[in-house]
Chain A
Amino acid sequence: MNEQPITIQSWPSAILHLDADAFFASCEQAVNPELKGKPVVTGKERGIVAAASYEAKARGVKRGMRIFEVKKVCPDAIILPSDYETYSLFSVRMFEILRRFSPDVEEYSIDEAFIDITGLRRLYHGSYEKIAHAIQETIEKELDITVSIGGSLSKVLSKIGSKHKKPRGITLIPGRDIHLYLKDLPVGNIWGIGPNTAALLQKLGINTAIEFAKKDEDFIKRYLSKPYIEIWHELNGRSIYPVTREIKSSYQSISKAKTFTPPSKDETFIYAQLSKNLENACIKTRRHNLAASRLIIFLRMQDFSHSGIEIKLNSPTSYPSTLFNALKEGFKQIYRHEKLYRQTGVVLAGLMPEDKVQRTLFDDNVKIEKMSKIYSAVDSLSKKFGKHTVQHGCSLPTKSQSQHEGERGDVPQRKLNILKGENNRQRLGLPVLNIRI
């Protein structure tokens, strides 16, 4: 029964999923061409592998590995600090290139996108596969990085396609071939099915994606909830999840976390790190005109164990000044003396649109109004002169030591070699090639 095609329609809809290959490492190789063909690893400043080039992966380097382990398994690996500025420039350009092909582009993450190309065959005088190739070639030519593309009738299926062959792969799965790709795919490898659901499905005798897809609707509805019913439809070639054009504007929560090296015992310094994270999270919250009703704080120790606390706020806000009391309180509860800390983080949750916030009788409206004026001034100063032009005093101790002390090499090249007219806060929005000529 599993040999039978799921649908005989080839392309009722065509959705591509694009996944850049070892994105951060590839960007490094693009701006430092002499690194091509060599094992490159990024994430030096955090002490953990953020991305590894395919050459490094071939030598056994994996994401999330500790840097000292990398030096053991691959002694000649080139270990670089992350240069998020350059990666973001590449990411933006990648999406711009995609929008040349179709207006329906969803920026799923920094290095992943969904593109709805339904109906574009006539425009490009060729098959969907030809369009996928054109996208891959354009990105490789203009950005010098490779991407893998999967294409099928739905998002879930196109994601299976992009994983099928990497790097520089193109895998198109027309309706009549879906069953071939689901045959050997473990059910836990489907996008959206986590370990718990996979375990449940296995109890029900479902091990592969094809077994899941071929179950009848009554069975699925009896045992599973809505998100999984949707995945089931998607696997059967019925597109449920639309490709959404807008840049992400609705957030469940906004979080900011930063690691610092070397780890620290200094209470003031650790609290300053935390308050800087809070400021950053608030900046982002205000940028999206939101207000948070819950504040979550966490601290991570050198041995990677962590502690956290959640605080419910009296009234939703996006201004650090109104949050510092809660922050201090929470910090006191979870901070342990004499422990070495490596990371602090802040999550603002329970977000709602700023203009929908219900003020209570006990809110000090004059103060809130003042706050909103102060912070809109702070935000416009930041826009003009760079982030953190105006900062809260309690975040200042973060400046007493650089975020990642140690070798000079822990700062990306781009930040060391600034151009005339640039400063530490604001740099030219063009990637800079690192070639000696």
Chain B
Amino acid sequence: MKASSDKLRKRIDYISSFYRNNSRMPTFSEIANITGLRSKNAVFKLVNRLESLNYIARDTQGRLIPVSIANPVKMLGTVEAGFPSPAEEELADTISLDRLLIQNPSATFMLKVSGDSMSDAGILPGDMVIVDKGQVPKSGDIVIAEVDGQWTMKYLKKRGEGIMLIPANHKYKPIKPQNELKIAGVVTAVIRKYK
């Protein structure tokens, strides 16, 4: 059992790295090449197995679609100490850091923070924020907005009929847009890289 699951693990790694390098899934003969399997039938069985384990899927024409095989970072599931993990059957479905941080790839931008008006929300100068232009801003969201000609990042709050922009730092005052409020995007994540 252990040996066979190791073998499977390795094959998954090969396919996964093929996908990462080529941005597409391998064909059956390519799978045979990279895994060292010698017959198409063996590949077919492997593919069926991976499909049943939800690593990959197939479209209506039988082409392979990556599911969790595309994602190099593994989520750490709960671990019960002392109990041998029945490896492959239990691997949690995984997503990549990219997918975790970016919901809307074609509408997502980065922005480097320079001010400290959101420091109590945990956004500090030098941090990177991920800005989604495709989302409809809701009350309570952190937004990038242009207020009366000035750019700012604040909490968006609906107060009765009006809209307020609330900082997360007592040094700054809430802003009530006088003439114009343009929202450039919703902040969906903050990234701070130490090294």
Interface residues, chain A, CB within 8 Å of chain B? 31, 33-34, 93, 96-97, 141-144, 383, 417, 419-421, 428, 430-433, 435-437
Contacts and interface: CB of A to CB of B under 8 A. Distances in A.
Nearest to B149: A34
B133 A144 contact: yes
Nearest to B145: A437
A34 B151 CA distance: 9
B152 interface: yes
B151 A142 contact: no
A432 B112 CA distance: 8
A142 B106 contact: yes
B184 interface: yes
A97 B106 contact: yes
B105 A437 contact: no
B184 A436 contact: no
B26 to A, nearest CB: 17
A142 B113 contact: no
Contacts of B146: 33
Select the residue from B133, B144, B195 with max chain A CB neighbours within 10 A: B133
Contacts of A143: 106-107, 133
A93 to B, nearest CB: 4
Contacts of B130: 430
Interface residues of B, number: 27
B144 A435 contact: yes
A437 B107 contact: no
A430 B109 contact: yes
A428 B111 CA distance: 12
Nearest to A435: B151
B163 interface: no
Contact of B133 (A96, A141, A437): A141
Nearest to B106: A93
A435 B128 CA distance: 12
A430 B110 contact: yes
Interface in B109-150: 109-115, 117, 128, 130-131, 133-134, 144, 146
A417 B112 contact: yes
Contacts of A435: 111, 144, 151, 184
Nearest to B125: A437
B193 A421 contact: yes
Given A33-B151, A96-B105, A97-B106, A436 B134 contact: no
Nearest to B133: A142
Contact of B144 (A34, A420, A433): A433
Given A142-B107, A421-B193, A430-B108, A437 B114 contact: yes
B118 to A, nearest CB: 9
Contact of A437 (B109, B113, B128, B195): B113
Contacts of B114: 436-437
A96 B106 CA distance: 7
B15 interface: no
Nearest to A30: B109
Nearest to B182: A33
B193 A420 contact: yes
B153 interface: yes
Given A33-B146, A420-B193, 11 more contacts: A96-B105, A97-B106, A141-B107, A142-B134, A383-B21, A419-B112, A421-B193, A430-B130, A432-B110, A436-B151, A437-B114
Contacts of B106: 93, 96-97, 142-143
Contacts of A34: 151
B145 to A, nearest CB: 9
B146 to A, nearest CB: 7
B110 A431 contact: yes
A437 B193 contact: no
A320 B66 CA distance: 37
B116 to A, nearest CB: 10
Given A33-B151, A96-B105, A420-B193, A433 B111 contact: yes
Contact of B131 (A96, A97, A433): A433
A428 B130 CA distance: 12
Contacts of A31: 109
Nearest to A142: B107
Nearest to B126: A420
Contacts of A97: 106
A130 B147 CA distance: 32
27 contacts: A31-B109, A33-B151, A93-B105, A96-B105, A96-B106, A97-B106, A141-B134, A142-B106, A142-B107, A142-B133, A144-B133, A383-B21, A417-B112, A419-B128, A420-B193, A420-B195, A430-B110, A431-B109, A431-B110, A432-B109, A432-B110, A433-B110, A435-B151, A435-B184, A436-B114, A436-B151, A437-B117
Nearest to B134: A142
Interface in B17-60: 21
A416 to B, nearest CB: 12
